[in-house]
Structure 1
Amino acid sequence: MATMTDVARRAGVSIATVSHVLNDTRPVLPDTRRAVLDAIDALGYTPNGLARSLVTARTRSIGLAVSAISNPYFTEILQGVEARALEDGYGLLIADPHDDPEHETTTVRLLHERRVDGMIIAPSARPDALLRYLGQHQVPTVFLDRLLPAPPDGGFRHDQVGAENTEPMTTLVTHLAERGHRRIGLVAGLRGLSTTEERITGYRHGLADAGIPYDERLVVHGASRAETAESATHRLLDLAARPSALVTANNAMTIGALRALRGRGLSVPGDLALCCFDDFSWADLFTPRLTAIAQPSREIGARAVALLLERLAEPGRAARTVRLPSAFVHRTSCGCPDGPAHPETPEAPRKGPES
């Protein structure tokens, strides 16, 4: 097995120069760097990652803490994180906090103890203990999907990236209202998450734009899970004046709502129109095909890595919140005639207010 000494001998340089090339600890002339890299190639030399981390105080690893990894939406985010991390020479340590605030803090502590260079986290609905830990240990962190408000005291702050939620939800409700629906139900997500609150706000904006009074009985919480959403949908169907259209606020809850409708022998869109937040790979295979909001999940993951690497390179810079546009994918579950899906993407990604 080739050693660093072998590489130095073949390249005609010192061992220290090989170390500087591998660890980026000092500038090296381009021709010298090329000679070292060619020698590494020729000899098949594999650097010792542990030894490198002792020199640089970096492990070139990222901790990723995301609940419901089995959810296709978060799976695609994971794919975006992994692809961008590997592109930049970073490995991943992955954990599922299960949307439990106590377990979340334990998970992040364990990742931190494994000396990851930074973390990417989809925070729970109650992240106070998590924020205390991150602030106490000054862990470079990027929050994704579930965004947090800026702390009023101007304390330890983090970069964030997520999709637009309010306007896309307004688009779904407006579309249903334009088809004549006046009783539009909403199966909302887990209470306390920014995604849940923003989508409820978008729902209310859509009703207001269409001149439809808000009726709190038409909003139920499915806790972002299929089983809970199925029960919540049954509550909507039990109303004396049940909704004629339904909006589900994530893909897992869409599955739960469809189960409830099937259990009642109701068809979509014949008996009840349906639009959903979160597009997924099989949405176009359902009968009817699901009209949905598609979030840029892989891009969210990749952008989170980019923000984290920028933070590692420049620890003192101001925190940033980045919002990426979602797309309206027009299919047939809303009651429109059959035809090809038509993604309608809003304006280009924009940076949100600093947080």
Structure 2
Amino acid sequence: MVTMADVARLAGVNASTVSHVLNGTRTVSGPTREAVLAAIARTGYRQNTLARSLARSSTTTLGLASRFVSNPHFADLVTSIESSARRAGYSLVLADTHDDPVEELRAVHELADRRVDGLLLAPSVHADDEALPFLERAGIPAVLLDRFAGSVFDQVAPENVEATALLTGHLADAGHTRLAFVAGLEGLSSTSERCEGFTRVVSARGLSGTVLDGRSETAVAEAAVLSAFSSSSAGERPTAVVVGNNSMTVGTLRALRTLGLRIPTDVALVCYDDPEWADLVEPRLTAIHQDVPAMATRAVTMILERLDGTAPPTPRRERIPPTFRHRDSCGCAGSGVSAR
């Protein structure tokens, strides 16, 4: 194995000079720096990151515990967080929680065992029972993202209530009086907040509102929509649907196609989350677009501020405002949708 001493010998400098070049701990003259870099290139020298971490009591890694499988939103979030962490000089270690409390605790333990400097967590329904108390006892700096839970950690999430109320009100303004909301996994703050936005408008305007349990899953949402629409006559079933996330939007689209219902002619549809393909399908989906890069950047900034001691003593709760993307699936752009 090539050592720092080998690089120093080839470059004609001391090992400490090689260290200064690699770590930026002291200014090194141009010619000397070039000689060291050339020697590194010739020898293929790699720093011993484990030894460096032990010496610094830092692994320069951040952990991310979240649900990755079957939800494109979290895949986008991972990409944005990794980019922000890398710009700050940190590597990202991933652990999938599957939105299951047992898997979540395992994931948090695994990241703690890897000695991550800080941890980002999209909390599950029961995070307050196990995962969050463990992080607090262990003294691991953490930021909760996408969903709120507990009160002792910094948290950043999208705005949910007003955004979903906007979607619902948009359908009501188009004349719809029978609406359905496909809700996510019960117990998540994002689910309850989006449901609140829907029911607030339905109640305030005296509309008929049905909440369907989609559990944040494509197949479950599909079955729920099939059941609700199949059991109602044409004159009683909802004429418009608000969907709580992108995975359930896929299930809802499949169900409506199975039922032979056209969007927006037979059923208007709007959704929270704006998947990449939203403006590629026909009709294009009217949606709430989350600023995922902004949420990721803010979450990484928060954890770095905790690590360097510049964060305020009181935990912060911040919301990232989303954007309303008005397209065609709502049926209010002259597509002939009927709000029967």
- What TM-score, normalized by structure 2, do the two folds share? 0.87
**Aligned residue type for 1:294:** H
1:206-230: per-residue Cα shift (whole Å, max 9, x none)? Answer: 2245x22464xx0111000111101
Match of 1:275 in 2: 270
Secondary structure, aligned partner of 1:63:
strand
Asked if 2 retains the 8 angstrom alpha-carbon contact of 1:204 and 1:214, the reply is: no
Does structure 1 residue 221 correspond to structure 2 residue 225? no
Structure 1 residue 20: Cα displacement: 6.7
- CA 251–32 in structure 1, closer or farther in 2 if over 3 Å, else same: same
1:51 deviation in Å? 1.2
3-state DSSP class of the match of 2:130? helix
AA aligned to 2:58 is: R
Deviates more, 1:288-297 or 1:298-307: 298-307
1:42 shift after superposition: 3.5
User: Are the structure 2 counterparts of residues 245 and 91 from structure 1 closer, same or farther at C-alpha, using a change threshold of 3 Å?
Assistant: same
2:271 alignment partner, SS class: strand
Q: Distance in 1 between matches of 2:88 and 2:100?
A: 31
Q: What is the CA distance between 1:114 and its match in structure 2? A: 1.1
Q: Which residue of 2 aligns with 1:331?
A: 327
String of CA shifts for 1:126-185, please: whole Å, max 9, x gaps.
1110012111111111111011142xxxxxx21111111111111101110110001111
Greater CA drift, 249-258 or 157-166: 157-166
1:26-175 alignment, distance < 5 Å: 31-32=27-28, 40-44=36-40, 46-127=46-127, 128-150=129-151, 157-175=152-170
Aligned AA (1:212): G
Question: 1:202 matched to which residue of 2?
Answer: 197
Per-residue CA deviations over 1:300-339 (Å, capped at 9, x if unaligned) read 2222222111111117732222211101111100003379
- Could you say what secondary structure the match of 1:334 adopts? coil
Cα deviation, residue 36, structure 1: 7.7
The alpha carbon displacement at 1:12 in A equals: 5.9
Q: Relative to 1, partners in 2 of residues 1:40 and 1:254: Cα closer, same or farther, differing over 3 Å? A: farther
Would you say the 8 A contact 2:70–2:247 is kept in 1? no
- Shift in alpha-carbon separation, 1:18–1:225, aligned structure 2, 3 A: same
Aligned length: 325
Alpha-carbon distance in 2 for matches of 1:33, 1:314: 33
Local SS of the residue matching 1:293: strand
Distance 1:133 1:167 in 2: 33
Change in CA separation of 1:36 and 1:116 when aligned onto 2, cut-off 3 Å: farther
- The answer as to whether partners of 2:147 and 2:190 remain within 8 angstroms in 1 is yes
Q: 1:197 to 1:21 in 2, by over 3 A?
A: farther
SS of the residue corresponding to residue 124 of structure 1 reads coil
Structure 2 counterpart SS, 1:255: helix
Q: Given the two structures, how large is their TM-score scaled by the length of structure 1?
A: 0.84
Q: Which runs of no fewer than 5 residues in structure 2 stay unpaired?
A: 336-340
Contact 1:169 1:206 in 2 (8 A): no
2:297 to 287, 302, 313: 302
Alignment check: 8 A CA contact 1:292 1:328 kept: yes
- 8 Å Cα contact 1:294-1:327 kept in structure 2: yes
Report sequence identity in percent.
Answer: 42
- Match for 2:327: what amino acid? R
Change in 2 beyond 3 A, CA 1:337/1:82: same
Give the Cα separation in 2 of the matches to 1:91 and 1:144.
Answer: 18
Q: 1:46: how far off?
A: 3.3
Matched residue, 1:257: 252
What is the deviation of 1:33?
8.6
**8 Å CA contact 2:121, 2:142 repeated in 1:** yes
Secondary structure of the equivalent of 2:143?
strand
> 1:86 deviation in Å?
1.4
Cα-Cα RMSD: 2.5
Alignment of 1:189 onto 2:184: yes
Q: More deviation in 124-133 or 309-318?
A: 309-318
Unaligned runs of 5+ in 1: 151-156, 340-355
CA contact (8 A) 1:18 1:36 kept: no
Larger mean Cα displacement after TM superposition, 231-240 or 185-194: 231-240
Q: Residue 79 of structure 1 aligns to a residue in which SS?
A: helix
Is the CA contact 2:273–2:288 (under 8 Å) kept in the aligned structure 1?
yes
Residues 11 and 35, structure 1, Cα contact 8 Å, conserved in 2: no
Q: Contact 1:185/1:236 (CA < 8 Å) preserved in 2? A: no
Q: Tell me which residue corresponds to 1:347.
A: none
Asked whether the 8 Å contact 2:272–2:287 carries over to 1, the reply is: yes
Map of 1:176 onto structure 2: 171
